[in-house]
């Protein structure tokens, strides 16, 4: 540390703590720090950094901290842990409303991602970070925690050439199990990579989800073909653009393929059902460095006597079992197990117990 360094410090918000960690653990490569105005403008307009790399959502550090260009600011997590520092290369004003319109497709404050950037404000500082430590997490997560480089090394040690990654922020129900296994049929390994960072109100707690993933792995997946990790990032709920971000992150972690399903990273009715798949039509997949695998909505069909989609099932709606997330949460809250065709009994038991504790 330089003798001329000013003694400035900043406690990051929960959301900014997650961004610091994803930059620091290699998940947000090629980013080496919080983005400035040139990156922000090109990311909003073209989904690329100022250097030309694909990047769909600005990663900025909004703060009212009084500082000057050239200052070095010590950074701590939202829980007070010392993480490292940022060298301030730019102090600038973003246009949060313009970012909302171009990145999220709406300026509606009811959108959770839009509300978050409005709340943060427009004044930002930008610059590279130095990492001394990463934020702490619960033991349930730390048992599965690896950096991007560590997961890459693990896949290489396993001899896997084709690795398909699955993004989730919810417990895996039967339909998700079906599509991950369908993807695994053509790949060497499956990388279940749930998000454990900031989500929106009403989402199932991350520690509960981890227990659900683990019981599925123990009972329904071959233990030498699946890896469970954790992604300590926040959700933006940016729909199509966030699907691209999720793909880039999984590429950084060593995946070669990435599952994109219906309503990926969406919120409410802000995006079309398959908008997150259509956005990849605008992208050079070779340049992106990871191949998206598109799946339609999957359901249980009583006539097929199994899981299927519109691509594989010829039967009408009466034969198909659909349950909304609201209906499932209502059943769990009443201590009722969702139908076996929707959820594995072991997963339902964990969720019922969790709802009882609430």
> The CATH number of the domain where 115 resides is what?
3.10.400.10
Residues 209 and 288 grouped into a single domain: yes
Q: What is the pLDDT of residues 324-351, one digit of tens each?
A: 767 887 888 888 999 999 999 999 999 9
Sorted by sequence, the CB contacts under 8 Å of residue 66 that are 6+ apart come out as none
pLDDT higher than 50, residue 94: yes
pLDDT at 21: 98
pLDDT-based confidence at residue 213 (cuts at 50, 70, 90):
very high
Mean pLDDT of 62-70: 98
CA–CA distance, 147 with 232 (Å, rounded to integer): 10
pLDDT at 200: 57
ω into 30 cis (within 30 of 0): yes
pLDDT at 295: 94
Q: How many domains does the chain have?
A: 2
Residues 306 and 334 grouped into a single domain: yes
Domain boundary among 100, 131, 162: 131
Q: Which residue from 131, 123, 128, 119 is spatially nearest to 37, judged by alpha carbons?
A: 123
> The CATH number of the domain where 321 resides is what?
3.40.50.620
Residues 213 and 307 grouped into a single domain: yes
Report if residue 53 sits inside a domain: yes
CA–CA distance, 145 with 57 (Å, rounded to integer): 24
Range of the domain at 125: 8-131
pLDDT at 1: 44
Report if residue 2 sits inside a domain: no
Residues 76 and 225 grouped into a single domain: no
CA–CA distance, 178 with 45 (Å, rounded to integer): 37
Q: Mind telling me the catalytic residues?
A: 169-170
Q: What is the pLDDT of residues 263-316, one digit of tens each?
A: 999 999 999 999 999 999 999 999 999 999 999 989 999 999 999 999 999 999
Domain boundary among 131, 164, 189: 131
Residues 249 and 323 grouped into a single domain: yes
Report if residue 1 sits inside a domain: no
Report if residue 3 sits inside a domain: no
Domain boundary among 131, 149, 181: 131
Q: Which residue has the higher pLDDT, 1 or 32?
A: 32
Percent of the chain with pLDDT over 90: 84
5 DSSP 8-state letter: -
pLDDT higher than 60, residue 25: yes
pLDDT at 2: 44
Residue 49: Cβ within 10 Å count = 19
pLDDT higher than 50, residue 6: no
Overall pTM surpassing 0.85 (yes/no): yes
Residues 124 and 156 grouped into a single domain: no
pLDDT-based confidence at residue 199 (cuts at 50, 70, 90):
low
CB 101 within 8 A of CB 123: no
CB 58 within 8 A of CB 40: yes
pLDDT-based confidence at residue 245 (cuts at 50, 70, 90):
very high
Average pLDDT, the chain: 94
pLDDT at 198: 63
Residues 126 and 187 grouped into a single domain: no
pLDDT higher than 50, residue 211: yes
Which structure tokens are listed for 8?
Answer: 């400035």
C-alpha angle 32-38-40 in degrees, rounded to nearest 5 = 75
């Amino acid at each position: 540390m330089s003798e001329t360094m000013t003694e400035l410090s900043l406690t990051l918000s929960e959301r900014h703590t997650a961004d610091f960690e994803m930059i620091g653990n290699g998940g947000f490569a090629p980013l080496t720090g919080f983005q400035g105005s040139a990156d922000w403008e090109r990311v909003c307009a073209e989904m690329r950094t100022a250097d030309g790399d694909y990047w769909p959502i600005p990663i900025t550090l909004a703060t009212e901290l009084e500082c000057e260009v050239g200052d070095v600011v010590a950074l701590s997590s939202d829980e007070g842990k010392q993480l490292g520092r940022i060298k301030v290369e730019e102090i600038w004003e973003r246009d949060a409303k313009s970012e909302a319109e171009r990145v999220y497709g709406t300026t509606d404050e009811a959108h959770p991602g839009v509300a978050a950037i409005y709340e943060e404000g427009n004044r930002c500082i930008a610059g590279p970070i130095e990492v001394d430590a990463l934020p702490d997490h619960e033991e349930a997560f730390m048992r599965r925690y690896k950096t991007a480089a560590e997961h890459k090394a693990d896949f290489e040690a396993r001899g896997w050439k084709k690795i398909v990654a699955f993004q989730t922020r919810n417990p895996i129900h039967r339909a998700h199990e079906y599509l991950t296994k369908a993807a695994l049929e053509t790949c060497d390994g499956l990388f279940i990579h749930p998000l454990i960072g900031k989500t929106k109100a009403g989402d199932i707690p991350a520690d509960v989800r981890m227990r659900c993933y683990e019981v599925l792995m123990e009972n329904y997946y071959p233990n030498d073909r699946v890896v469970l990790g954790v992604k300590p990032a926040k959700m933006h709920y940016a729909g199509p653009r966030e699907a691209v971000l999720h793909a880039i992150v999984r590429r950084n972690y060593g995946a070669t393929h990435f599952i994109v399903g219906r309503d990926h990273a969406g919120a409410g009715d802000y995006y079309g059902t398959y908008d997150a798949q259509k956005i990849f039509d605008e992208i050079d997949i070779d340049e992106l460095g990871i191949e998206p695998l598109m799946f339609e909505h999957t359901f249980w069909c009583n006539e097929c006597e199994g899981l299927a989609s519109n691509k594989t099932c010829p039967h009408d709606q009466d034969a198909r079992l659909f349950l909304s997330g609201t209906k499932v949460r209502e059943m769990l809250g009443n201590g009722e197990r969702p139908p076996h065709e929707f959820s594995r009994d072991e997963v339902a038991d964990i969720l019922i117990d969790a709802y009882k504790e609430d």
